[in-house]
Amino acid sequence: MAHVIKYYPKVDAEMVRRFREIPCATAYEAAGQAGMMDPAIRPIYPAAKICGPALTVSCHVGDNLMIHKAVSIAQPGDVLVVTIRSDARSGAWGEILTTAAQARGVTGLVIDGGVRDVEANEKKGFPVFSRGIAVGATMKKNLGLINHPIVCGDVEVHPGDLVLADRDGVVIVPREKCETILAESVAREEREKVLMEKLEKGATTLELLGLDPILADLGLIEE
């Protein structure tokens, strides 16, 4: 088995462009409440946002050697999705890797592990979502896998899947389901726009969402 797969199908640039306007929460709901990573994986600065195809990396515990290899083969627009299977006490990503990644056109990082050099990453405007922030060092002694299916943040991620991340969290949209989920996301945004307009005019969520019958069935008592 090859450790590194260089060529694989990925979500196309037009699909990525269209998804950039979709909030993570909307995509998650449109996908049938699927694809949400563990909420412990958070942006390291509030304005961080990601939208692009996954380049997956599986590392040995406490070792970031394969991350360096992944950056070297990354294509413009790629998003690195990394599982390092550690407790996030090692900073597997920092300013050096950010500089290298930006030079390659990488658009972001999602890592089930720790990172460091947070201030430098923010100044460079490189979006990072991680399980933790830690100054701990990493090894560079072990092989791993690049562009094989992985589990990151309790979600299965395949190379080329769409990665969507904002302040609410990280959602993975399977490549083959992107068209369907995008269509439902757009429709959901339109429905919510109409809902907001009615709420601004004084309607209640109880009536608009049909919640009164549920309360009645549950035996709600008011005095």
Q: For the segment 149-183, what is each residue's pLDDT rounded down to a tens digit?
A: 999 999 999 999 999 999 999 999 999 999 999 99
Return the percentage of the chain with pLDDT > 90, whole number: 94
- The fold of 13-175 is Glucose Oxidase; domain 1 (3.50.30)
pLDDT for 88 beyond 90: no
| Domain limits, CATH 3.50.30.40, in the chain | 13-175
Mean pLDDT in the chain?
A: 96
Give the model's pLDDT for residue 182: 98
Across the range 29-41, mean pLDDT stands at 98
Distances 203 to 12, 68, 134, 148, 194 between C-alpha atoms, Å: 41, 54, 47, 49, 12
User: Could you tell me the pLDDT band of residue 85, with boundaries at 50, 70 and 90?
Assistant: confident
C-alpha–C-alpha distance, residues 103 and 4, integer Å:
21
pLDDT tens digits, one per residue of 175-208: 999 999 999 999 999 999 999 999 999 999 999 9
> How far from chain centre, in Å, is Cα 115?
16
pLDDT at 145: 97
- pLDDT category of residue 34 using cuts at 50, 70 and 90: very high
Across 47-66, average pLDDT: 96
pLDDT (0 to 100) of residue 96: 97
Can you tell me the distance from the alpha carbon of 148 to that of 132, in angstroms, rounded to the nearest whole number? 24
- Buried b or exposed e, range 29-68, using 16+ CB within 10 angstroms: bbbeebbbbeeebbbbbeebbbbbbbbbbbbbebbbbbbe
Q: Is residue 86 pLDDT above 70, yes or no?
A: no
Cα separation values, 187 from 19, 27, 30, 35, 191, Å: 13, 11, 9, 19, 6
Band (94; pLDDT cuts 50, 70, 90): very high
Q: Give the predicted TM-score (pTM) of the model.
A: 0.94
Beta bridge partners of 150: 157
